[in-house]
Structure 1
Amino acid sequence: MTELNARPAVKPARPYFSSGPCAKPPGWSAEKLDTQVLGRSHRSKIGKTRLQYAIDLMREMLKLPDTHRIGIVPGSDTGAFEMAMWTMLGAKPVTALAWESFGEGWVTDAVKQLKIDATVLRADYGQLPDLGAVDWSNDVLFTWNGTTSGVRVPNGDWIPDDREGLSFADSTSAVFAYDLPWDKIDVATFSWQKVLGGEGGHGVLILGPRAVERLETYTPAWPLPKVFRLVSKGKLAEGVFKGETINTPSMLAVEDAIFALEWGKSVGGADGLIARSNANAAALEKIVSERDWLGNLAIDAAIRSTTSVCLTVEGADEALIKKMASLLEAEGAALDIAGYRDAPAGLRIWCGATVDTADIEALGPWLDWAYAQAKAA
């Protein structure tokens, strides 16, 4: 560790530590994107081929069984999760887990928008609710990795194989960062803008066979907007999961996602991406362990995120964190590392696969410098 007031000599080569949209894959440039599909209809042969290719790459890398459908949908992860809630909730009682802002958002949508009398299990930032208290005769809503709290569920062991309800997992900061147990997840959603470093605006909806059965056997009591409709004449709209998107996608964003997926494949597929995230998280944990003024918001390492790592700063309030973030941005040493606006004052460092470990390692001395400068201001 350097002296706190010393200006470090080495900056991270790529100071992109935002938790979404996240750092682009190493080696990315706009010139490397395949642009032959631009200006063409997404329903043209080439358009549908490229959309299907993106789906095929995701299936291959995630090792998803053929029983699971993958659809590209509008509205990023939020749109995908809203689509799942609006089309499938209401058939059974609902339990919603909330330990950070996005999970709390799903509670609000279920209770206030869909008027469901849900059971809500809450925990403070940095903690998990009692997973053993979940009633799996209910449909269950939860975030696999809480992006704004740095807390994740430790595994899928708490989800029973003989569950009656469906598991709805907002997995936006988890897919491609953890080895997810797909047999435990009936509905998963994520966006390209997280672990893959893709562009925002598009979500991915993954449906297991039990979710498909729900869609084909249950009609919600409320009207569905066009962009949420996944069923036609009582059957799943299979075209949505074969590149025939519900609305017009950005083919530039699709090509960007394909670049990220091909890069991911080149570094070892999902296993390689998980290893990169783990290495980054370990490098950041070393930085934290060497500094008595830094800590983890998630004290229990078993539930600590390896992507959106949330840190506490001794004596920090919102003003000090803003000052630190501004100093680091002005120096080009770290961008977008202030904690989420609803979270306790602190730092949030993205450690997903598109970040290079050397840049995490180079960040430590700059945190020292920014903390000293902000405290002295």
Structure 2
Amino acid sequence: MNCWTRRQFGYLAGAACLTALAPRVARSQKSRVVVIGGGIGGATVARYLAGVGTIEVTLVEPKPSYTTCFFSNLYLAGMRSFESLTHSYETLAQRYGINVIHDVAATIDPVAKTVALKAESKLPYDRLVLAPGIAFKFGAIEGYDQAATEIMPHAWIAGPQTELLRRQLDSMEDGGVFLIVAPPNPFRCPPGPYERASLVAYYFKQFKPKSKILILDAKDSFFGQEVFQDAWARHYPGMIEWLPRQFTGGIKAVDVKHLSVETEGETFKAAVVNFIPPQMAGELTQQAGLADQSGWCPIEPTSFESKLQPGIHIIGDAINSGEMPKSAFLANSQAKVCAFAIAAALTGSDLFAPQLFNTCFTFLAADDAVSDSIAFEPTEGTIKISEILISQVGEDAERRRQVVQAANGWYAAFTHDVFG
């Protein structure tokens, strides 16, 4: 693990060398890069490109601040404040000179190379980066639409939805059922629904010990299943029940009025329903024709340039990323590779071989967390796993406590790397 961490930080240091890139071609004016989406991927690529003196960076993001979805399950469990998850764009604007525009990107004209904003202004660009995150396939399950999210929140985009789910859990009577609907693959943060079950169970164990958690899954297995089920047996015996698709026949419909979820053979009623819908690339990519029939965006794995539209790069959860999961750390890693590729294209500097890493921390209880570290490499037009190190069942309690400490330190360092 220590050797792997050194490799990661070596790459972070290498990304910082973007500030030292010297253009081989003199330019009379700066190249313009527009970044749409101020999440982890978008903020990272904007920050690292802003260090290249011949590039002018504009970041378009409608929200005045960003709340991380990762670690939001700790907020649901009462282990972290909402404010601690929320980050502003002030440092990116003031220290790094990024032109931050709080508006909505409405349309893209790839021929004219402009982005039209909702406020009716247009931004010209030499290169465009999209980091639009995910959108939900509303209508894929009967009865679950945008309006239903106000009763059965997904809380899969952090912010008001997260706060709504927290209020529902707080007001739930002891002895009630908290029902989680876990989505089909691929989706943002594969361990997320099961970490949520773990941490809500931690909250219930302290304050609502008669309550139960039911997971209705659209899949027959999930990432880290043995580690999660071992933790549930140790920490929350009899509190969490997981039902796979092969048992239920799949999710067929929801009844928002009666807080129930219908499967092929049974209807389940709950006090609180956390319905996480099927997902696809963010809406702008669908409108701009950057997503294929899978609902995700195909990209060149060495530059993250769209395979469907030259000059436009896509990073983060929206891409069809081979064996890479959809995680915040990978969005950050992709953003740095993308920044190097754009800098090389616009300045004539050397292009470095891509290095892609993922580090993920997952909490099972307040003093029990696990981690995975995975390296990836572009291979045969896609991205595949080259190295993997993950936590295992049977690790001693002290090791798990050390991972908790490492996770908290990682959050502080990681968000500083992104937002400054």
TM-score using structure 2 length: 0.28
| Structure showing the higher strand proportion among its residues | 2
| Structure showing the higher helix proportion among its residues | 1
TM-score using structure 1 length: 0.31
